[in-house]
Amino acid sequence: MLEASHLSHAFDYPLFNDISFSLSPKESMAIVGVSGSGKSTLLHILASMLVPQSGKVFWKGVDMYAQKSAALLAMRRLEIGIIFQQHYLFKGFKAYENLEVAALLAHQSIDEALLERLGIANVMGQKVTELSGGQQQRVSIARVLTKRPQIIFADEPTGNLDEETANEVMQILHDYLQSNNAMLVMVTHDKHLAQKCNRYYALHQQQLILL
């Protein structure tokens, strides 16, 4: 359902060269690699945010970047969930209001049980700026899941969390995949969490190597 075909990209130096893989519903893949190896760039390309210098991304059989921009935007709004390395929550808003915006845009409702499970139900009335880094991270995960995306791209989604909370957040993501027939592409520095994905790759010397 997601297919990366011969992707290559360079900025000041070549990041990756001729990368191909595919991912099916209910599957998850993790990408590890040293800082600056191009993991976030690859995620941006897969997530409809950056046109690759060469190669194609197919989503449900459609060449993502060959679509009209309105179709690309609709796909991004309704089908793709992105958990960024920086959170990009609406800072002046309360945590709950951030979820309300996501629910409204995607015509979905807020899952109160999810907020309980993420351990943030009791802070939803607070301003985003008043929350700890780990709480903000979990609000941003709740916001993405509120959209009910078919595919989730997550850039170090547990970077600010202690081990126990990180494990629970990963379990929530994996449960989401199973119950929603969704997919996950995750960048992480945590090998233990990477091993819990169906496939575990390293971005190394411009190649995606299956570990």
Ligand X SMILES: Nc1ncnc2c1ncn2[C@@H]1O[C@H](COP(=O)(O)OP(=O)(O)OP(=O)(O)O)[C@@H](O)[C@H]1O
Contact map string, positions 1 to 30, toward ligand X, x by CB under 6 A: ----------x---x---------------
| 48 binds Mg ion per the rule CB under 5 A | no
Look at residue 188 and give the partner it binds from ligand X, Mg ion, none, a contact being a CB closer than 5 to 8 Å depending on partner kind. Answer: none
**How near is the Cβ of 187 to ligand X at its closest, in Å?**
7
Q: Which is nearer to Mg ion, 40 or 137 (CB)?
A: 40
| 69 binds ligand X per the rule CB under 6 A | no
Strand partners, 32: 202
Decide the pairing of beta strands 80-83 and 54-59: unpaired
d(Cα 58, Cα 11) in Å, to the nearest integer? 23
Comparing CA positions, the residue from 53, 41, 65, 55 lying closest to residue 9 is 53
| 48 binds ligand X per the rule CB under 6 A | no
Residue of the chain from 7, 23, 29, 39 that contacts ligand X (CB under 6 A)? 39
Residue of the chain from 7, 16, 32, 40 that contacts Mg ion (CB under 5 A)? 40
- SS3 per residue for 58-94: EECCEEHHHCCHHHHHHHHHHCEEEECCCCCCCCCCE
In angstroms and rounded to an integer, the radius of gyration of the C-alpha atoms of the chain is 17
Look at residue 128 and give the partner it binds from ligand X, Mg ion, none, a contact being a CB closer than 5 to 8 Å depending on partner kind. Answer: none
Phi then psi for 57, rounded to 5 degrees?
-120, 125
Comparing CA positions, the residue from 31, 137, 23 lying closest to residue 80 is 23
| 41 binds ligand X per the rule CB under 6 A | yes
Residue of the chain from 28, 37, 146, 158 that contacts ligand X (CB under 6 A)? 37
**How near is the Cβ of 18 to Mg ion at its closest, in Å?**
21
**How near is the Cβ of 122 to Mg ion at its closest, in Å?**
31
What are the CB-based long-range contacts (under 8 Å, 24+) for 42-45?
Answer: 42/7, 42/9, 42/15, 42/16, 42/203, 43/153, 43/155, 43/185, 43/187, 45/4, 45/7, 45/9
Binding part of the chain for Mg ion, among 16-24, 34-42, 94-102, 201-209 by CB under 5 A, reads 34-42
| 136 binds ligand X per the rule CB under 6 A | no
d(Cα 189, Cα 100) in Å, to the nearest integer? 31
Residues that bind ligand X (CB under 6 A): 11, 15, 33, 35-41
Residues that bind Mg ion (CB under 5 A): 40
